[in-house]
Amino acid sequence: MYMNKYQYHWVNTQTRQTRVTTPIIARAIRNARLKHGVKFRESHLLPNAKAVTRNAYILVGPLLIHPNKNNDLYTKLGNLALRGAKVNVFPVIPSPRKILKDYKRGAFVCAVDKQLKINHIFPDDVHDGGFLTPSTLDVLSNIECETFHNKTKVQYKNSPENISKLKTIRAKYKETIEKISLIIRKYQLYDRAPTDGALIINENPQHTLASARRTNKTTLSSNDMVLIHTPITSSNSLSQTGKRRHTSDVELIPLSQSFGKRFLIHLHTPNKLVSRGVMYPQLSTQKEYPYGELQYWKEIHSEAKQIFKNTNQTEVFNLKNHGLVFSVNSPEELEKIILKHIEITKRA
Ligand SMILES: [Zn+2]
């Protein structure tokens, strides 16, 4: 189904303590093979950095999180990331009860992720033999998210009329887009890279702008936006105007239209406890949704409506184990809500 140009590696660091967690990884790998035909090379050794291409996905784990330990390993992982490999760590936290404390103390995890450009897959509520780990679904969606990006079929409609319409709407929102980008830059609202997230603008029911995929959200300009035509849920497809491909979080497009506000902004924060919904459980969806599939927007919509009702506001909710979604009419409103709800973790 997908052009699979990635090399997949699983560095199995299985130890006696973490033995119980390996079935979670094995299941995710098996699902990725069945669903997408990917083949993993399993080994107990890291691949040689020189032999690794940009198109490599490396999963390392299970790994017990110990600040100030595993330094040699982390140095090697950083070298792999430097070569352009997607390096993902499957962390194991010994005591689920201490997750907040451990993960906060493990602020080092965020620092390491940022510094080395690697990613600790967030350990959620799977209690496996007393350990806290990511779930099979988390590992699978990480593989998908890091290597497939776009699951949607896209058709480009770049007629002169459409291009001119796109340019007109871009011009109208130029300053607002720059203001939103400034907020993302000011509070550093991204996890590993500023390419996280998405911006959707509802000009009117027929005209929706969406950020192109992998755009830097801290330097976003109106030229980064494309015009979306009616998305078709049944075939997970849409047509667009604009040369660059639309955001991969397509389910947010109909969702944004359904909220009836001008802007939808999807963000991650450097503090994974916020992005993952652990810090503010009342703002978080009950279910985890795979990204990039239009069919989920209605379910997300009804969960969001319930969250809005329960929390007596209509501006923010969190996609469980993914990230925040803001629904606002202006950049000023966005900043106000960020300051009110979200703990800002200032990064060095
Ligand atoms: Zn996201």
Q: What is the pLDDT of residue 103?
A: 59
- Asked if residue 324 has pLDDT above 60, the reply is yes
Residue 324 alpha carbon to ligand 1 centre in Å: 8
Phi first, then psi: give them for residue 335, nearest 5 degrees.
-65, -40
Do the Cβ atoms of 226 and 154 come closer than 8 Å?
Answer: no
pLDDT for 250-266, tens place per residue? Answer: 999 999 999 999 999 99
pLDDT for 272-308, tens place per residue? Answer: 778 888 888 999 999 989 888 999 999 999 999 999 9
Residue ranges of domains in the chain: 7-147, 153-341
Residues of the chain above pLDDT 70, percent: 90
The architecture CATH gives domain 153-341: 3-Layer(aba) Sandwich (3.40)
| Parallel, antiparallel or unpaired: strands 153-156 and 237-241 | parallel
Residue 86 alpha carbon to ligand 1 centre in Å: 16
- Asked if residue 1 has pLDDT above 80, the reply is no
Do the Cβ atoms of 38 and 55 come closer than 8 Å?
Answer: no
Two tokens, residue 16: 């006696």
Strand runs labelled E in the chain: 7-12, 40-43, 56-64, 86-92, 119-120, 126-128, 131-133, 153-156, 198-204, 207-211, 225-228, 237-241, 263-267, 316-319, 323-328
Report d(CA 114, CA 165) in Å as an integer: 39
> CATH code for 7-147?
3.40.50
Q: What is the pLDDT of residue 39?
A: 92
3-state secondary structure of 70: coil
Confidence of residue 22 (pLDDT cuts 50, 70, 90): confident
Residue 144 alpha carbon to ligand 1 centre in Å: 13
Confidence of residue 347 (pLDDT cuts 50, 70, 90): very low
Which of 28-37, 87-96, 163-172 has the highest mean predicted lDDT (pLDDT)?
Answer: 163-172
Residue 16 alpha carbon to ligand 1 centre in Å: 34
Q: What is the pLDDT of residue 156?
A: 96
pLDDT for 201-236, tens place per residue? Answer: 999 988 999 999 889 999 999 999 999 998 999 999
Least confidently predicted of 89-103, 162-176, 181-195: 89-103
Q: What is the mean pLDDT of residues 74-82?
A: 93
Least confidently predicted of 19-33, 121-135, 159-173: 121-135
Do the Cβ atoms of 133 and 123 come closer than 8 Å?
Answer: yes
Q: What is the pLDDT of residue 129?
A: 75
- Asked if residue 242 has pLDDT above 60, the reply is yes
Report d(CA 129, CA 20) in Å as an integer: 6
- Asked if residue 105 has pLDDT above 60, the reply is no
Q: What is the pLDDT of residue 2?
A: 47
- Asked if residue 68 has pLDDT above 70, the reply is no
- Asked if residue 344 has pLDDT above 70, the reply is no
Q: What is the pLDDT of residue 148?
A: 77
Residue 123 alpha carbon to ligand 1 centre in Å: 17
Q: Which residues of 60-83 are buried (b: 16+ CB within 10 A; e: fewer)?
A: bbbbbbeeeebeeebebbbbbbee
The rounded Cα 206 to chain-centroid distance in angstroms is 27
CA distances from 62 to 23, 92, 120, 150, 219 (A): 10, 6, 11, 28, 36
- Asked if residue 174 has pLDDT above 70, the reply is yes
Residue 268 alpha carbon to ligand 1 centre in Å: 6
Q: What is the pLDDT of residue 348?
A: 38
pTM over 0.85: no
Residue 155 alpha carbon to ligand 1 centre in Å: 23
- Asked if residue 122 has pLDDT above 70, the reply is yes
Q: What is the pLDDT of residue 50?
A: 84
Q: What is the mean pLDDT of residues 322-334?
A: 96
Residue 321 alpha carbon to ligand 1 centre in Å: 9
Residue 160 alpha carbon to ligand 1 centre in Å: 32
Residue 316 alpha carbon to ligand 1 centre in Å: 14
Residue 286 alpha carbon to ligand 1 centre in Å: 17
Residue 15 alpha carbon to ligand 1 centre in Å: 32
Q: What is the pLDDT of residue 226?
A: 98
- Asked if residue 190 has pLDDT above 70, the reply is yes
Q: What is the pLDDT of residue 48?
A: 87
Does the bond joining 331 to the residue before it have cis omega, within 30 degrees of 0?
no
Residue 108 alpha carbon to ligand 1 centre in Å: 22
